[in-house]
Chain A
Amino acid sequence: MFRLWYKEYGYPHPSSPFEVAIPMTLWPLAVYTGLVLIMVGTVIALSHFLGERHTGAARDEPYESGILPTGSARLRVSNKFYLVALLFVLFDLEAVFIFAWAVAVPELGWVGYFGLLFFIGLLVVGLIYEWRQGALDWGRTRRAKERADAARRSSKQ
């Protein structure tokens, strides 16, 4: 799975596509990660052993401002959040391509630059489309509001 990579011996040729070579120079990061995990674990475990113990009538109820909770907290939520997740995937992928271009700007030259410009242009067109659709607005969109107003007016008559 993993093989350590010592700089002196050159890059090891992987024996299978699933093998990853880890540079030996990263050992401080590994030690640091281990130390941080131990630290966090200790802090959380300490309060478990040092803490007080209480019992009470309402102790095991969820806190909802002192009102008795009704129903489960597994609510149905606005699908707006799903839309944001989709937008995130789209634009974060775009960002990743830009990262790869940004480290090599002089090497890629103007050809690479106009390639990237075209790529960003396509995504900006997408952004404008979503903007016009109201995908970036929270709360009710203008069109939904007009529809709701029209429905209210017709029900009054």
Chain B
Amino acid sequence: MTETIRLLLCILIIPNVVLGMAAGLILLERRLLAVWQERLGPNRVGPFGLLQPLADAIKLLTKEDWIPPFADRPVFVIAPAIVMATGILTCAILPIAPGVGIVDDLNIGLLFFLAMSSLGAYSVLLAGWSSNNKYSLIGGLRSAAQMLSYEVFMGLSLMGVVILTGTFSLREIVEAQRDGWFFIPQFLGMVIFMLAGLAETHRMPFDLPEAEAELVAGFHTEYSSMKFGVFFIGEYAGVVVVSALMTTLFFGGWLGPWLPPIVWFMLKTLTFICLFILMRATLPRPRYDQLMALGWKVMLPLSLLNVVVTGAIKLATTGDGG
């Protein structure tokens, strides 16, 4: 019975924490970007601007919820819902601390994450197509090609960790890192995963689907009100998920001395979130052909190499393996 109550509590609390983090992230990002650009950023609403996300939410909710008469109505409404739903659903597999997590011992945890991130591609493509706007269409197509390309080796880059542990379950992967975090043996895998994660959530510097200098706002040009906001919640939920997975897969999850496990998990995740924002503040946006060439000509061969070498080392260290 206590087990059921624990799970129900997790189910109720985790999505709200993720939503809260996604909203807080918008403020954090604006403040941090301001710091790095020697500005102040939003600091008027509440102490240190802490109530800014609330003000943004109220404003978005009371704006006109416009569905263009030339758009494909049902698809237009469903598209933003997909990205937000998949973003929050992925959190179900995160092992946040011992005893905190929804289905964190799912034996296909990693595959679940990959499936959800593939579904996310639909959101952007459908939004671009259903808007019936030229900018949207180009943005949607670009993002579909980008996400498909980066997905291939996003999965492959994680296989190094799977080879070392022999499981897709995130909880077991964390437990396997008691002797040493995987970012040392899997450094290449980590770097590839990080870049692929950036491209999958189409964050700067890989935000070509919505490059405002060339495409107005890309796939969400025709979106307004909270549907526009939902795209952002989805994007920030994606950032939280990718950071949490970096922590889980390569940096020992909740493991760490002195502090309670949940604090370690949060601290590590927050570090990666700040790293993602720093990358946005510093790196320029590549050209689209450069982005695709990087994916197919550099990342794909490197991730295959990582798989092959890791497999050989694993077999060599565990004896002949039968």
Q: Which residues of A contact B (CB under 8 A)?
A: 25-26, 28-29, 31-33, 35-37, 39-41, 43-44, 46-48, 50-54, 59-60, 62-65, 69, 72-75, 77, 80-81, 84-85, 87-88, 91-92, 95, 98-99, 101-110, 113, 116-117, 120, 124, 127, 131, 136-139
Quick one: given A43-B230, A47-B225, are A85 and B148 in contact (CB under 8 Å)?
yes
Taking the nearest CB of chain B, how far is it from the CB of A5, in angstroms? 14
Label chain A's interface by main secondary structure: helix
The answer to whether the Cβ of B162 comes within 8 Å of any Cβ in the partner chain is yes
Question: Please, which residues of chain B bring their CB within 8 A of the CB of A80?
Answer: 145
Please, how many angstroms separate the alpha-carbon atoms of A32 and B217 in the complex?
32
**Quick check: B103 and A92 within 8 Å, CB to CB?**
no
Q: Binding site of B, secondary structure by majority: helix, strand, loop or mixed?
A: helix
> With contacts defined as CB atoms under 8 Å apart, how many contacts are there between chain A and chain B in the complex?
204
Instruction: Please indicate the chain A residues that have their CB under 8 angstroms from the CB of B320 in the complex.
Output: 109-110
A137 and B60 contact, Cβ closer than 8 Å, known pairs A33-B89, A84-B149, A109-B322: no
Contact of A40 with B136 in the complex, beta carbons under 8 Å = no
B68 pairs with A136, CB closer than 8 A: no
Closest 4 CB pairs of A and B: A47-B226, A138-B289, A109-B321, A51-B65
Determine if A113 and B230 form an interchain contact, defined as CB atoms under 8 angstroms apart.
Answer: no
- Counting contact residues on chain B (CB < 8 A from A), the size range is 35 or more
With A29-B103, A137-B293, A139-B289 known as contacts, the answer to whether A62 contacts B162 (CB < 8 A) is: no
Check if A73 sits within 8 Å of B132, measured CB to CB.
Answer: yes
Task: Provide the bound-state CA to CA distance between A53 and B321, in Å.
Answer: 69
Interface flag for B302 (CB, 8 Å): no
The closest CB in chain B to the CB of A36 belongs to B88
Task: Assess whether A64 is in contact with B134, with CB atoms less than 8 Å apart.
Answer: yes
Query: What A residues does B149 contact at CB under 8 A?
Result: 84, 87-88
Residues from chain B with Cβ under 8 Å of A99 in the complex? 111, 155, 159, 162
Q: How far apart sit A81 and B111, CA to CA, in the bound complex (Å)?
A: 26
**Chain A contacts for B304, CB-based, 8 A:** 120, 124
